[in-house]
Structure 1
Amino acid sequence: MRTKRDIVGLIPAGGKASRISPLPCSKELYPIGFRYVENNNARRPKVVSHYILEKMRMANITKAYIILREGKWDIPTYYGDGKLLDMHLAYLMMGLPYGVPYTLDQAYPFVQDALVALGFPDIIFQPDNAYVRVLDKQAETGSDIVLGLFPTDRPHKNDMVELDTNSQIRALHIKPENTQLTYTWQIAVWTPAFTDYMHNYVSGRKESDNLGYKKELFVGDVIQAAIENKIRIDSVLFKEGNCLDIGTPEDLMKALYVNLAKENQGDQGIC
């Protein structure tokens, strides 16, 4: 049975999308496919970040913070208060531009007592019930962090996950050039214990090295440090799942192509 603790979605949207710039909008609002409008069954463009919010909503996550950098005002203009997805959305401003953990830490005062569901707004994945299964795993095990793992053939673009013979997480390897590992993590659920750990990790890094901390920090770096410090971690393995990051021109083209093929087959989904 799941905990009654508040579940809050956390979505970092502070990136500059430099690999696919220039764009006419924030990357998170780039249309990938179509959605059906209730009542008249009409179709409207479906932006890429709609997919992650939709999957959160399928897991009964009704509240989420989207963390922005200055200038990305089109995101709150588009989503507003969240009525489009039957969610309650709020927006926070990022502070330091040195990696996603710094961006996520902006939400610390608002989520420190909540169960957090992390999602990236430029990544599309299957299955649809991924958050349901990850939340159920957390409730079952009481782990401080549970990762959703997906197969990938692009390890140099992902945090690759090393598993032991019992499919328990042994280590994370950040964007390795050469590896035999086949699974990456794309979603996560964590408790206040890991929220505190990340907050202290980021705060300590800033205080101990006023220059060195400006090197980009990845969430995987913090998770790996947490593993080494015996934070309780578990995972859900989506062996038949898939994931796609639209952050490069090649992957954006693939997402558009895959969705077009599914549209032609009468399938609303993607990936």
Structure 2
Amino acid sequence: MEQSQVIGLIPAGGLAKRISPLPLSKELYPIGFDNFNSANLENSSDNLRPKVVSHYLLERMQLAGIEKAYFILRQGKWDIPAYFGDGAMLSMNLGYLMLGLPYGVPFTLDQAYPFVRNHIIALGFPDILFQPQNAFTRILARQKAHNADVVLGLFPTEQPQKAGMVDFDVEGKVLSIVEKPLQSNLRYMWGIAVWNPIFTEFLHEYIHELKSQGDLSNLPELPIGDVIQAGIKAGLHVEAETFTDGSYLDIGTPHDLIRAVKEF
């Protein structure tokens, strides 16, 4: 068996309907600026270039020592590989896979199964801005220390209707995930995750079972949180790493996109 490593998975199959029309994939929407250290410019302020939203996610993965990641793309999003190329700008190795069935993030992630089945997975969403910067470092450390099947990175939120809300005990064991409740006494949502090959196999079998049921086009889109919840019920070891002072901002709505542009 190939030696296990950590591989990033980045689902990029969305249509960005809430902020359409856009002249580019939403994952490449410029949010803020960064210094790209051009050797040809003497004035450091002249090195500033627009920084696309998914660059922030890749930086946080790279900070955690993740050297390889796959974008999973919907047809037509060719501007993403054209922009990031092989990942040299981030000192990472990037690959690109194609979306199969468009019925939710679990279907998108399962496209990577043949390439990542024996490895630790780090999941992040490419249209999200979050803090702290070392979030992946912390959830990977927890997964290794506790041998957890899944570790969720939790962020405080006052908008439960937009998130997968997480109930967990004082030791960090996840008890349940409640997907987008209209109201909730829960304070924390999950926003990033890591998992081991046991959950990768669970996800693959879950999707295989759904596919065997026939036409899925009339069913609601499946959240990945529902699959993790099914894993909890099946006895998988799921833990939470809480970022009490963290933040999480999805640029996929007009209001939050405006906020992101102003803040960055």
**Structure 1 length-normalised TM:** 0.92
How many pairs are equivalent? 256
Partner of residue 33, structure 2: 34
Partner of residue 9, structure 1: 8
- Please point out which of 247, 253, 256 is paired with 2:252: 247
2:78 corresponds to 1:73: yes
Partner of residue 131, structure 2: 126
Secondary structure at the aligned position of 1:102 is classed as helix
AA in 2 matched with 1:138 = Q
Deviating more after overlay: 35-44 vs 171-180: 35-44
AA in 1 matched with 2:73 = L
Secondary structure at the aligned position of 2:212 is classed as helix
- Please point out which of 201, 208, 220 is paired with 1:203: 208
AA in 2 matched with 1:185 = W
CA–CA distance in structure 2, aligned partners of residues 65 and 213 of structure 1:
29
Identity value in percent: 54
| Per-residue CA distance 1:61-100 (angstroms, 9 max, x = gap) | 0100000010000000000000111100000000000000
Matches within 5 A, 1:54-69: 54-69=59-74
CA–CA distance in structure 1, aligned partners of residues 217 and 236 of structure 2:
25
2:186 corresponds to 1:181: yes
CA–CA distance in structure 1, aligned partners of residues 240 and 216 of structure 2:
34
CA–CA distance in structure 2, aligned partners of residues 27 and 215 of structure 1:
23
CA–CA distance in structure 1, aligned partners of residues 95 and 171 of structure 2:
40
Secondary structure at the aligned position of 2:204 is classed as helix
| Per-residue CA distance 1:146-193 (angstroms, 9 max, x = gap) | 110010111101000012344421100000001111101111010000
Q: Which runs of 5+ in 2 are unaligned?
A: none
CA–CA distance in structure 1, aligned partners of residues 126 and 188 of structure 2:
20
**Structure 2 length-normalised TM:** 0.94
CA–CA distance in structure 2, aligned partners of residues 11 and 213 of structure 1:
26
Partner of residue 198, structure 2: 193
* Counterpart contact for 1:206–1:213, Cα < 8 Å: no
CA–CA distance in structure 2, aligned partners of residues 96 and 143 of structure 1:
29
CA–CA distance in structure 1, aligned partners of residues 211 and 159 of structure 2:
31
* Counterpart contact for 2:172–2:239, Cα < 8 Å: no
AA in 2 matched with 1:120 = F
Instruction: Give the deviation of 1:23 after TM superposition.
Output: 0.5
Instruction: Give the deviation of 1:257 after TM superposition.
Output: 1.1
Partner of residue 90, structure 1: 95
| CA RMSD, 1 decimal | 1.2
* Counterpart contact for 1:205–1:213, Cα < 8 Å: no
AA in 2 matched with 1:23 = L
Structure 1 stretches of at least 4 aligned residues deviating more than 2 Å after TM superposition: 164-168, 208-215
Secondary structure at the aligned position of 1:19 is classed as helix
Secondary structure at the aligned position of 1:161 is classed as strand
Partner of residue 151, structure 2: 146
